[in-house]
């Protein structure tokens, strides 16, 4: 599921015309598989190939590990997703997201 979410994020970044993309995930195994490249037998290899092909559309792309405790926004947003509503868009950033971003950027505050 994490690989599919990353692929969807890359597609979205491409649709918005982003050129510098840093994809962060709390799945260390996915990052390890990404760096292993084609020399693996992972069940997510096809999705990783898709992400790699899409990554060439950007000037700069990286996939890195970031633990949940370092990115509460992503963790909380991931919990918001359901099978019936896999994505959404806000026209204004909700206040609770602003609060979480501020806390992530300023460790030691809440």
Q: How far apart are CA 98 and CA 104, in angstroms?
A: 10
Q: What is the pTM of this model?
A: 0.68
Kindly compute the dihedral angle of the four CA atoms of residues 63, 67, 73, 78, in this order, to the nearest 10 degrees. 80
What's the pLDDT at 86? 61
The whole-angstrom distance between residue 67's C-alpha and the CA centroid of its chain comes to: 12
Q: What pLDDT score does 52 carry?
A: 95
The Cα–Cα gap between 100 and 110 comes to 8
Bridge partner list, 25 = 65
Segments in the chain forming alpha helices (H): 2-15, 28-36, 45-55, 72-80, 95-105
| pLDDT at residue 110, rounded to an integer | 52
For the chain (110 residues), the mean pLDDT of every run of 10, in chain order, is: 90 93 90 87 91 96 83 71 65 83 70
* Token pair of 66 as six digits: 């970031």
Those residues whose C-beta lies under 8 Å from the C-beta of residue 57, and which sit 6 or more positions away, are 14
Domain map (residue ranges) of the chain: 1-66, 69-110
- How high is the pLDDT of residue 17? 93
Q: Say if residues 33 and 48 touch (Cβ distance below 8 Å).
A: yes
């Amino acid at each position: 599921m994490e690989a599919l979410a990353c692929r969807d994020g890359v597609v979205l970044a491409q649709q918005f015309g982003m050129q510098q993309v840093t994809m962060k995930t709390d799945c260390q195994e996915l990052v390890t598989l990404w760096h292993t490249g084609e020399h693996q037998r992972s069940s997510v290899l096809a999705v990783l190939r898709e992400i790699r092909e899409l990554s060439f559309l950007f000037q700069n792309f990286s996939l890195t590990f970031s633990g949940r405790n370092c990115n509460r926004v992503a963790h909380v947003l991931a919990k918001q997703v359901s099978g019936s509503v896999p994505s959404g868009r806000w026209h204004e950033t909700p206040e609770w997201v602003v609060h979480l971003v501020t806390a992530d950027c300023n460790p030691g505050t809440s």
